[in-house]
């Protein structure tokens, strides 16, 4: 991990914040538990959602330190998951062709796979970037 890595983008974080009352930006920054809470409570009745507008820079810094930078972009992966996740394109982008095709044929494994990816995508990308760096 480099000291200057920038795995996540504030711009993408703010764009996802627009849908943040559904937890989008919190999932993006690796906070799946609060993302789920935001999803079911509409961003804590919109109050937490408004507060997050000011917390995004800190969440961005934390994500930059926590996840492994590399060839697979967090930003591209999250945009693909958020907008076309049921098609599995985000998985194909990461080199997971078999599960990507499976998602394509099953609607993201009947949406359960897409929900799983919202919870785990940051770790999947970090692991894939480590594998690529190690030549695997």
Coil, helix or strand at residue 31: coil
pLDDT of residue 3: 56
Query: Mean pLDDT, consecutive 10-residue segments, the chain of 136 residues?
Result: 79 92 93 95 94 97 96 96 95 97 96 95 97 92
pLDDT of residue 22: 86
- Long-range contacts of residues 83-86, Cβ cutoff 8 Å, at least 24 apart: 85/114, 85/117, 85/118, 86/111, 86/114
């Amino acid at each position: 991990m480099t000291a200057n890595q920038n795995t996540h983008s504030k711009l993408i974080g703010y764009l996802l914040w627009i849908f943040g009352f559904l937890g989008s930006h919190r999932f993006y920054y690796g906070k799946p538990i609060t993302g789920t809470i935001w999803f079911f409570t509409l961003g804590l009745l919109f109050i937490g959602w408004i507060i997050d507008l000011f917390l995004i820079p800190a969440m961005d810094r934390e994500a930059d330190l926590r996840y492994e930078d590399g060839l697979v972009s967090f930003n591209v992966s999250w945009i693909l998951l958020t907008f076309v996740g049921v098609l599995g394109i985000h998985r194909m982008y990461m080199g997971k062709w078999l599960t990507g095709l499976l998602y394509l044929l099953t609607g993201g494994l009947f949406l359960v796979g897409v929900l799983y990816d919202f919870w785990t995508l940051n770790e999947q990308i970090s692991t894939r970037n480590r594998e690529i760096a190690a030549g695997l």
